[in-house]
Amino acid sequence: MRLTFLEPLYRQPGPFASVYVDTSRDGAVGDPDAALALRWRRLRDLLVTEGADDGAITAVAGTVGCDAEIPGTHGQALFTAHGTLVLQGELPEPPGRDSARFGALPDTMPLIAQHAPEIPYLAVYVHYTGRHFLDAEGTVHVESEAGRWPLTKVTPGERLDERIPIADWPRAAARLGRRLAEQADRLDAETLILTGDTWARGILTRRLPPRLRDRVTAVDAGGAPRPGRGLLEHLLDRLFRGRLAAHDQALVGAFLTQRAHGGAATEGLPDTVSALQRGQVRALFLNERHRSASLPLWVGPDPVQLALTEGELRSYGVRAVRREQADAALARALVGTGAELVLVPAWFLQLRGGTGALLRYADAGRGHRDRLRA
């Protein structure tokens, strides 16, 4: 997973307020807005306790709950710096618990985790409306959405919506197939999930360009799409659960190959941190509940200034040293060095200490201490 969406956040010097809050309205007991206001007051008090300034409080307060138009369960991730909202992320699922932190580094790993597995896909729902197939007044209704799963649950992807008279459908399907192929190409979609009326979708499948036809997965719909949410959300949730994006699978494959040959790969937090210090990491792998998450790391002002101990970092000449949660320090280092992140289930790949890395080069090289100097 590429973390470019976090770059605007890390261009700020901090300190940061990081807020995760459940903003779901559906299913709430009583007044959902009143319940959200109460949760926000608790988070606000926590931010004040941690030293947040009035500007940070105001910036968050003006944004919490502004996603009222999104139905179903969901949440928000909000980040401020110096009284300005720097990044707002919609969460496909509510956070496990509401949380608020104020500190030198933003708490971005929970947001990153909700972007995973970030599978690029195209969903197409084709359904016939009419009394029977010989009904000249009937139409074929085609809805499609190109996006990255699971963000399209709450952040709509590129949509297409067409109603075509049944008499024109065989001819129009070829034109529509070309449009769908263009839509898939723009996103580099791994798969086209096709569902709906068997007759209508069969005609569309046969008229898709070959490069897209080979990626079709035809399934039963199991219900009409829900307005305001990702197209075929429940169906996609079933299909994609526990799956890695093809790009991430390729990175895992490269890691396993390099590890087997003693090449450009490393495992465990100490060696991974050492590689991050040198800007050597191409992709970081973390098991979902990696043991390093609760450990502290010592960091300096620069993203590659991180170490397991304060003494190590000071030995490189870094003076402004502080302790941070490992997840926060690792996320900043990845964004700062342009490395990728793969959250991989332990059943798929068990990593020593829950941490590993595919490296850009095998030789550690020289001069990493120079890069660490303040």
Cα separations (Å) of 84 from 53, 182, 233? 11, 38, 33
The domain of 297 spans 246-372
Asked which of 115, 147, 167 is the last residue of a domain, the reply is 115
Q: H/E element holding 235?
A: helix 233-240
| 132 and 183 inside one domain | yes
| 350 and 273 inside one domain | yes
- For the domain that residue 203 is a member of, what is the CATH number? 3.30.420.60
| 130 and 225 inside one domain | yes
- For the domain that residue 252 is a member of, what is the CATH number? 3.30.1330.30
What is the average pLDDT score of the chain?
91
Q: What is the tally of structural domains in the chain? A: 3
| 139 and 227 inside one domain | yes
| 80 and 29 inside one domain | yes
- Looking at per-residue pLDDT, the higher value among 131 and 248 belongs to 248
Identify the band that residue 98 occupies on the pLDDT scale cut at 50, 70 and 90: very high
| 194 and 100 inside one domain | no
How many Cα atoms occupy the beta-carbon half-sphere of 146 within 13 Å? Answer: 14
- For the domain that residue 59 is a member of, what is the CATH number? 3.30.960
Closest CA to 152 of 250, 235, 64: 235
| 270 and 364 inside one domain | yes
| 331 and 352 inside one domain | yes
Computed on alpha carbons and rounded to an integer, the radius of gyration of the chain in Å comes to 24
| 264 and 301 inside one domain | yes
Identify the band that residue 369 occupies on the pLDDT scale cut at 50, 70 and 90: very low
Cα(297)–Cα(273) distance, integer angstroms: 9
Cα separations (Å) of 93 from 22, 116, 231? 8, 12, 16
| 200 and 90 inside one domain | no
Mean pLDDT score, 61-65: 93
For 212-255, the pLDDT digits (tens) are: 999 999 998 766 677 778 999 999 999 999 999 999 999 999 99
Which residues, in sequence order, are CB contacts of 190 under 8 Å at separation 6+? 119, 120, 121, 215, 245, 246
Strands 119-129 and 139-149 come out as antiparallel
Asked which of 93, 115, 137 is the last residue of a domain, the reply is 115
Cα(28)–Cα(73) distance, integer angstroms: 10
Angle formed at CA 18 by CA 343 and CA 335, multiple of 5 degrees: 45
Cα(24)–Cα(141) distance, integer angstroms: 31
Q: Which of 161-165, 212-216, 253-257, 368-372 has the lowest mean pLDDT?
A: 368-372
| 362 and 274 inside one domain | yes
Asked which of 240, 264, 281 is the last residue of a domain, the reply is 240
| 308 and 296 inside one domain | yes
Closest CA to 17 of 90, 78, 58, 61: 78
